[in-house]
Amino acid sequence: MSTQFLAIGECMVEMAPTGDGTFAMGFAGDTLNTAWYARKCLPPNWTVGYYTAVGEDNVSDQMLSFLKGSDIDTSAIQKRDDRTVGLYIIQLKDGERSFAYWRSQSAARCLASDRAHLERVLGRAGLIYFSGITLAILPDEDRTAFLDALRKARSNGARVAFDPNLRPRLWEDADTMRACVTEAAGLCDFVMPSFEDELAHFSDPAPDVSADRYLAAGAGMVVVKNGPEEVICATAGSRQTFQPKPVSGIVDTTAAGDSFNAAFLAEFLISGDVAKSVDAGAGLAGRVIRHRGALVDCLEPAQAT
């Protein structure tokens, strides 16, 4: 099997308030977060790649430098001279964070427009990771082509992992979101939803119902995360639950799910052991949420209460 972990989606420029009226520039995105943590978790014989599209401008170059500096392979990323990367600004009002986005014309929306390139890139991966946000940003016909390319890569031996990451505001309507996410889940080896999203947008009354729904759609294994509550790992023939260790001193739950997915998949690719994989996922997520920000260098041992 290929030893390339390939995450696909949109990385954006993040402008975060520093407290003195200015903003600090960084780079962020759900699939990027997972790639970044996967690089930390996987052994050196695995490469971790990120696939997206960027512009040819200076900010796009800075994004590529950031990825390369994180030991993430950027060689497949498409460059377009007519677009640039998306951006969001975090604003703080009375301690509450709000986000304003400029992403509707981002280069990443074109990541599936060159079908032959897309198939070549996916064809080299051992594990392909994407999310509901990856699907949401694609034009309809590119979304269909993207799913076809995933099917083809999978039939050639790649494994496919998907976090539904339901964000209705990115979709034309909620029914389209539910239909596309269900179709995508059906062609995946791992579907890794957060129950909070599934409750809100599929009205699932319990995490087991989310697991059953994605299994019925055709998913190989469903891993349902639920904040501090039990993680469910279900396949057609088995169901196990695991209680994450309690975490004290939580300061920011950004990227809890993204980091969980990275550590779970990295462990599963190496050992194939579900219990060890949940332990790795919950252990990393438990450390990430004790720090501010999405990308936290925290591979030191967990400090459970």
Q: Find the shortest distance in angstroms from Cβ 253 to ligand ADP.
A: 5
In angstroms, the CA 198 to CA 184 distance is 15
Provide the minimum distance between the beta carbon of 188 and ligand ADP in the complex, in angstroms, as a whole number. 17
- Look up residue 170 and give its DSSP letter: G
- 228 in contact with ligand ADP (CB under 6 A): yes
- Tokens, residue 68: 């390369």
Q: How far is CA 250 from the centre of its chain?
A: 21
Q: Which two tokens stand for residue 204?
A: 């699932």
Helices (H), the chain: 30-41, 58-69, 115-123, 132-136, 140-155, 174-185, 195-202, 207-217, 256-271, 274-288
Closer CB to ligand ADP, 109 or 225, in the complex? 225
Residue from 61, 75, 140, 227 in contact with ligand ADP (CB under 6 A): 227
| Interface positions, 73-102, toward ligand ADP (CB under 6 A) | none
The smaller minimum CB distance to ligand ADP, of residues 121 and 263, is found at 263
- Provide, rounded to whole angstroms, the least separation between the CB of residue 263 and ligand ADP: 10
Q: Which of 131, 226, 233, 268 binds ligand ADP (CB under 6 A)?
A: 226
Of 240 and 253, CB closest to ligand ADP: 253
Cβ neighbours for 54, distance < 8 A, ≥ 6 positions apart: 11, 60, 63, 64, 77, 78, 79, 80, 84, 85, 107, 108
Read off φ and ψ for residue 225, nearest 5 degrees. Answer: -90, 150
Among 180, 244, 264, 295, binds ligand ADP (CB under 6 A): 244
SS3 80: strand
Residues 251-290 that bind ligand ADP (CB under 6 A): 253, 256-257, 260, 282, 285-286, 289
Instruction: Show which residues are catalytic.
Output: 258
Cβ distance to ligand ADP smaller for residue 51 or 264: 264
Amino acid identity, position 163: D
Fill in the per-residue mask, 168 to 197: x = in contact with ligand ADP (CB under 6 A), - = not in contact.
--------------------------x-x-
Do the beta carbons of residue 9 and residue 52 sit within 8 Å? yes
Judged by beta carbon, residue 77 or residue 234, the one nearer ligand ADP is 234
**35-54 positions binding ligand ADP, by CB under 6 A:** none
CB closer to ligand ADP, 53 vs 195: 195
Give CA angle at 143 (227, 42), nearest 5°: 50
Report the residue number whose CB is nearest to ligand ADP: 257
209 vs 195: CA distance, rounded Å: 10
Binding residues for ligand ADP, rule: CB under 6 A, are: 194, 196, 225-228, 231, 244, 247, 250, 253, 256-257, 260, 282, 285-286, 289
